[in-house]
Structure formats: C-alpha cells, structure tokens
Amino acid sequence: MEKDDELKIVTDALPAAAVRCARDQTFLWVNPCYAKWMARPAAQIIGRKLADVIGREAMREIEPYIGRVLNGEQVQYERLARFPGLGERWLNWQYQPMGDGWVAIGTDVHDRKLAEEALKAERQRK
C-alpha cells in the first residue's frame, strides 16, 4: 500500500474535518467529514478558492489565522461558525504550515463550549 493510500484511509476515518490548502488558498484535498460539513461532494470543493466555498464573511474572520500559518506559525483557534451541513457550531481549528500551504483539522467542540459557558454563568450568579 502506498503512503498516500494509507494517509487517505486515516483522514477519511477521522471524526474531524481535514483540509489541505495551497498558499493561494485553493483547496487541494478535503476529507469526507469536511465535505459533509459543507453539504457538497469533495469534488465540488477541491480546486476552488477557500473564499468561494466558505463565503466572504467567514473568510474575513479567518484571514488573520491564514496569514499566520502562511508565515510558518502553527495556529489554533475556536470560533462559532455556520456550515451548510452542520449548522451553527463552535469549532476548534488547528492549522499546520507546509511549504506550499497548510493542513487544517477542525473539530466540533460545541457541546464543550456550551458547558463551559453554563459553568461560567453559574459562577457569576454565585
């Protein structure tokens, strides 16, 4: 089995979104989880610009993180985002720079984030 085949098996099985983007912000590949979040087949995402897939507003929100990863920095952040196949959810994203772009892994942390907010509100009430 080729290394690329092994990597595909792993990324396809992840319970998280995984994407690979070029420096020009073109999708090079996405895993099935990300395609599901976007409510479209991977073939309709790969080769397109990030802004064309996620929208201009979302793009404005994540541009600072993209700038940092393109400067060689590992980046991690959480944001409330809306995806067509997922709805509005808190997501944790981790970007790893690569010479010709970056890889990003996104996990749904919505339930944890809501629990944290409920605990914080409870502490403030006391």
CB contact set of 20 (below 8 Å; sequence gap of 6+): 27, 28, 29, 30, 98, 101, 102, 103, 104
Q: What is the DSSP letter of 42?
A: G
Do 92 and 80 contact (CB within 8 A), yes or no? no
The amino acid at residue 65 is Y
Buried/exposed code over 108-120 (b: 16+ C-beta within 10 A; e: otherwise): bbbeebeeeeeee
Alpha helices in the chain (DSSP H): 3-13, 32-38, 50-54, 56-70, 110-125
pLDDT in tens, the chain (126 residues): 676 677 777 777 778 999 999 999 999 999 999 999 999 999 999 999 999 999 999 999 999 999 999 999 999 999 999 999 999 999 999 999 998 999 999 999 999 999 998 888 888 887
Residue 68: which of 107, 29, 96 has the closest Cα?
A: 96
Chain length of the chain = 126
| DSSP structure string for 13-38 | H-SSEEEEEETTSBEEEE-HHHHHHH
Do 70 and 51 contact (CB within 8 A), yes or no? no
Q: Would you state the pLDDT for residue 1? A: 64
